[in-house]
Amino acid sequence: MSTATPLKIAVAGLGTVGGGTVQLLHDHAALLAERAGRPLALVAAAALEKPAGLPLDGVAFHRDARTMAGEADYDVLVELIGGADGIALDIVRTALERGKSVVTANKAMIAHHGVALATLAEVKGGAIGFEASVGGGIPIIKSLREGLAGNRVGKVMGILNGTCNYILTTMRSQGRDFADVLAEAQTLGYAEADPTFDIDGIDTAHKLAILAALAFSMPVDIGAVQAEGIRHVSALDIQYADELGYRIKLLGVASLSEAGVETRVYPAMVPLSFPLAHVDGVFNAIVTEGDFVGRTVLEGRGAGARPTASAVVSDLMDLARGRSLPTFGVKVAALAPRPQAPAGAHRSAFYIRLMVRDEPGVFADIAAALRDEQVSMEQVIQRGRAPSETVPVVMTVHETDEAAMLRAVERLTRLSSVAEPPRLIRIEAL
């Protein structure tokens, strides 16, 4: 056993991730001490109630996390309560003001307050670790801050929300509709009772804002992320995607070009030839593109007690070894704001599904609406006839400006033969 001074740890929040972290620190205590050169000692923990079954013997237990953060004797506060504001933000600020370091899994807090917290850490001499905030057990923060430090990163993208990926995977494999699979995901615990945060892309947006800051050495800007969720994706769209050689995935995409930075969250058709197409269930995967290293792909479990606890403890190990980096890879003063690329300038190929009344002249009207906006059709799928009903017409179009595509969709919506709003999904060029 090492006789070196222990790293004294206080954990706030003993839910799924907090419990997993406590268990990992206990189960791997000897291994961690050997690898870090000093023990990692859990000295304090806070939660509303002391959970049964966790190895908390000899650990000072607090029912008030604010009191623990302000008064306990620790080196690093592990914040696992969650939420952008409130008690989580309060205790992190308190710890940093005391000159302590912080490890957190709180992507919302980092996305909204990361720069201010990083500034406070620099002034007071602490460090902030947040590996667990993006991708669960996937070491993407360390990859961007350290492994790719010699590269200019031009793009980072990925499947960043396991709930959405589970829903889309199940819809495809079982041919079921969104609402049905969402209800099942809630029953199984994969989705919250209020799933808005996940299915409307907000969770992915928080994570993407963090990745963009790290990749492009810019301040975190959650307000610049354009987010679109998966509510409108239907089993029919997924069926056609399969036929066309794609999988539909909710992607977070951050890219840097001469036009500026784009940070967008949207469901996209991903070619079967690309690794992200085959990441299923609750798994996450993240792709980076660097000028020297080229493309890298990291895949793993994006949530859960054990994978996320693994990421929390990786940050604790760095602190135990005396290793710390600026929060976003460079000092706050070196984070350079970057212009946002014009929204309508984004270029993509697109999938469009129309539900139309089967009547003469329909295709001529559709073609004219696209032609008038300089949008070129690539392929069309229509099968059968149903004069008394609506039928699907599916098209893919060549790469075009998004602004032009949206104008064409507006024209299509106004056609008397189109019975419901067109469904538009981007085709990701990879």
Residue 345 has pLDDT above 80, yes or no: no
How confident is the model over 51-109, as pLDDT tens digits? 988 999 999 999 999 999 999 999 999 999 999 999 999 999 999 999 999 999 999 99
Closest CA to 293 of 156, 106, 113, 136: 156
Q: Which of 8, 100, 142, 207 is catalytic?
A: 207
Closest CA to 413 of 353, 351, 371: 353
Instruction: Return d(Cα 401, Cα 239) in angstroms, integer.
Output: 26
> By three-state DSSP, how is residue 382 classified?
coil
Specify the pLDDT at position 190. Answer: 79
Specify the pLDDT at position 1. Answer: 44
Mean of the pLDDT values across residues 150-162? 95
Q: Domains in the chain: how many in total?
A: 3
Instruction: Return d(Cα 90, Cα 96) in angstroms, integer.
Output: 10
CATH number of the domain encompassing residue 370:
3.30.70.260
158 with 103, same domain? Answer: no
Does some domain include residue 217?
yes
177 with 212, same domain? Answer: yes
Does some domain include residue 111?
yes
Does some domain include residue 169?
yes
CATH number of the domain encompassing residue 294:
3.30.360.10
φ, ψ at 262 (rounded to 5°): -115, 130
How confident is the model over 298-326, as pLDDT tens digits? 999 888 889 999 999 999 999 999 998 99
253 with 295, same domain? Answer: yes
Instruction: Return d(Cα 35, Cα 428) in angstroms, integer.
Output: 42
Specify the pLDDT at position 387. Answer: 60
* Confidence class for position 283, pLDDT limits 50, 70, 90: very high
User: How large is the angle between the packed helices 202-216 and 107-124, nearest 10 degrees?
Assistant: 40
Closest CA to 324 of 20, 81, 75, 42: 75
166 with 286, same domain? Answer: yes
Q: Which of the listed residues 248, 275, 301 is the one where a domain comes to its end? A: 301
Does some domain include residue 362?
yes
The label of the residue with tokens 């963090």 reads 210
Encoded tokens for 297: 């792909």
375 with 295, same domain? Answer: no
Residues sharing a CB contact under 8 Å with residue 381, sequence separation 6 or more, in sequence order? 240, 243, 244, 393, 394, 395
154 with 295, same domain? Answer: yes
Mean of the pLDDT values across residues 216-231? 94
Encoded tokens for 425: 């999904």
Give yes or no: 50 in active site: no
150 with 212, same domain? Answer: yes
User: Residue 11: enclosing H or E segment and its boundaries?
Assistant: strand 7-12
CATH number of the domain encompassing residue 82:
3.40.50.720
Alpha helices in 131-201 (DSSP H): 140-142, 162-174, 178-188, 196-199
How confident is the model over 120-134, as pLDDT tens digits? 999 999 999 999 999
Q: Write down the pTM of the prediction.
A: 0.92
DSSP 57: T
Work out the mean pLDDT of the chain and round it to a whole number. Answer: 92
Q: Which of the listed residues 301, 331, 361 is the one where a domain comes to its end? A: 301
CB 308 within 8 A of CB 80: no
E-strand spans in 275-385? 283-290, 294-301, 347-357, 377-381
Does some domain include residue 234?
yes
Specify the pLDDT at position 352. Answer: 94
106 with 156, same domain? Answer: no
Q: What is the dihedral of CA 408, 247, 200, 315, to 10 degrees?
A: -130
Higher pLDDT, 4 or 388: 4
How confident is the model over 197-211, as pLDDT tens digits? 999 999 999 999 999
188 with 156, same domain? Answer: yes
Residue 78 forms beta bridges with which residues? 11, 103
Does some domain include residue 308?
no
Alpha-carbon distances of 355 from 378, 394, 416, rounded to whole Å: 19, 9, 11
Name the residue range of residue 390's domain.
346-427
Residue 358 has pLDDT above 90, yes or no: no
Q: Which of the listed residues 110, 133, 156 is the one where a domain comes to its end? A: 133
151 with 263, same domain? Answer: yes
Q: How far is CA 420 from the centre of its chain?
A: 31
Does some domain include residue 307?
no
115 with 193, same domain? Answer: no
Higher pLDDT, 346 or 31: 31
Does some domain include residue 338?
no
Instruction: Return d(Cα 143, Cα 32) in angstroms, integer.
Output: 21
124 with 205, same domain? Answer: no
